[in-house]
Amino acid sequence: MNFWIIAAAGATLVTVLLIRALWRGASAETPSRVEQDLQVYRDQLAEVEREVARGVLPAEDAARAKTEISRRILAADKSRTAGMQAGRAPSKPLMAVIAVALIGGSLFMYASLGAPGYGDLSLKDRIAFAKNLRETRPTQADAVAGMPETTVGVELSAEYEALLTRLRETVATRPDDVQGQTLLAQNEARVGNFAAAADAQSAVVRLKGADASTEEVVNYAELLIMAAGGYVSPEAEAVLRAVLTRDAENGTASYYWGLMLTQTGRPDQGFRIWDGLLRRGPADAPWIEPILGQIEPVADLAGVEYTIPDIGPGIGQGALPGPSKDDIEAAQDMTPAERMEMIGSMVEGLSDRLATQGGPVEDWARLISSLGVLGQTDRAQAIYDNAVEVFADDPAATDIIARAGEKANLAK
């Protein structure tokens, strides 16, 4: 509200100054050529009178001269009057129209084209804001409590409903039965009771401990997110982090990690993760379709002019192309020097693409490893340091970069 008051006051002040300038400009009396001409004619009349008084100008000639000078004075005075009428100050209705157009038009244009209420934040402030948003966002319990009540999304037969009720009662009496909790999680999810399914899956992960598979932990994170209506809570984030610590390239966990970053004010990082998943493929991966439906507005928020890459049956269009069959056959006949030259050319192509277009973390890691193999340690170290800084807030990406640095024997 304060901004609108200041903006309206500023527009009003500018309008008042403009109208005042128009008024003063129109009413100001400035010497003109007409005034100068009139003064000359008056001087001529006075000179004629003096000539007559001295007896050097006959009366008849003086009369004719006075008549001619008077005619010129009348013409000049008529011209001056017309000019004064043309330069009159604008009328009050016209000034009111000007004021409304300037003030109202300015506020309307800003409301349409600007961002009312959105502060001008520096990059540092935006990152700090995103960090605070991430740390203070609602918990899983708050998110689930805020969800509207929903009914079961599928029509259950009487037999299935009876079996599900019996399963719930059995598991309630045997909470440490891993098999029972697994079946309950699957069936609750099948009927849309995601909160209950997440509770059962949580028991599965807890009971199995270190023996719980990555897929089981991923399923737990996904059920938490689905129970919260697509919101990635701090509890879901912790589960995703555990998955990515085990498997840094897990597609489902990476997708949800990118979603969490986007929800907490870091669409730039979320975009990089999703773009990498698209380019990595495969085209039938379960995360491809939801990414395709969301990545363009996320790219806009990240300030990236983005075109969705062609997703083929394997890796996306933007991924690092490997050697073709012809390249492999040709390499067999090459000398070691020629083979190293071919590899160097491919590495340069990857380096140029990352420098101009960016790319997923896997491509950064591949470049670092390749430069290490080629013996270009200094260059690999510089790119490694840059990648660590770029992906600092993404633990999965950081792990991938770290492994590439180890392969290249780089300093951490």
Indicate whether 122 belongs to any domain: no
How many domains would you assign to the chain?
3
* Predicted pLDDT at 31: 46
Both 155 and 260 in one domain: the answer is yes
Indicate whether 287 belongs to any domain: yes
Indicate whether 317 belongs to any domain: no
* Predicted pLDDT at 314: 43
Please name the amino acid found at residue 258: G
Mean pLDDT score of the chain: 77
Both 165 and 275 in one domain: the answer is yes
Both 211 and 272 in one domain: the answer is yes
Indicate whether 126 belongs to any domain: no
Residue 241: give its domain's CATH number.
1.25.40.10
Both 161 and 247 in one domain: the answer is yes
* Predicted pLDDT at 350: 74
Asked if 15 and 105 touch (Cβ cutoff 8 Å), the reply is no
Both 106 and 255 in one domain: the answer is no
* Predicted pLDDT at 392: 79
pLDDT at 260 over 90: yes
Ramachandran region, residue 230 (left: φ > 0; alpha: ψ -120 to 50; beta: rest): left
Both 223 and 103 in one domain: the answer is no
Both 287 and 333 in one domain: the answer is no
Indicate whether 124 belongs to any domain: no
Indicate whether 158 belongs to any domain: yes
Both 193 and 289 in one domain: the answer is yes
* Predicted pLDDT at 349: 74
Both 332 and 297 in one domain: the answer is no
Residue 325 pLDDT grade (very low, low, confident, very high; cuts 50, 70, 90)? very low
pLDDT at 281 over 90: no
Both 92 and 173 in one domain: the answer is no
What is the domain range of residue 66?
2-113
Indicate whether 392 belongs to any domain: yes
Residue bearing the bigger pLDDT, 222 or 152: 222
- Alpha carbon 75 to chain centroid distance? 69
Asked if 308 and 278 touch (Cβ cutoff 8 Å), the reply is yes
Q: Which CA distances in Å does 31 have to 23, 27, 78, 95, 208?
A: 18, 13, 16, 27, 100
Both 49 and 11 in one domain: the answer is yes
Percent of the chain, pLDDT > 70? 69
* Predicted pLDDT at 161: 87
Both 280 and 142 in one domain: the answer is yes
Q: Which residues contact 219 (CB under 8 A, 6 or more apart)?
A: 185, 201
Indicate whether 310 belongs to any domain: no
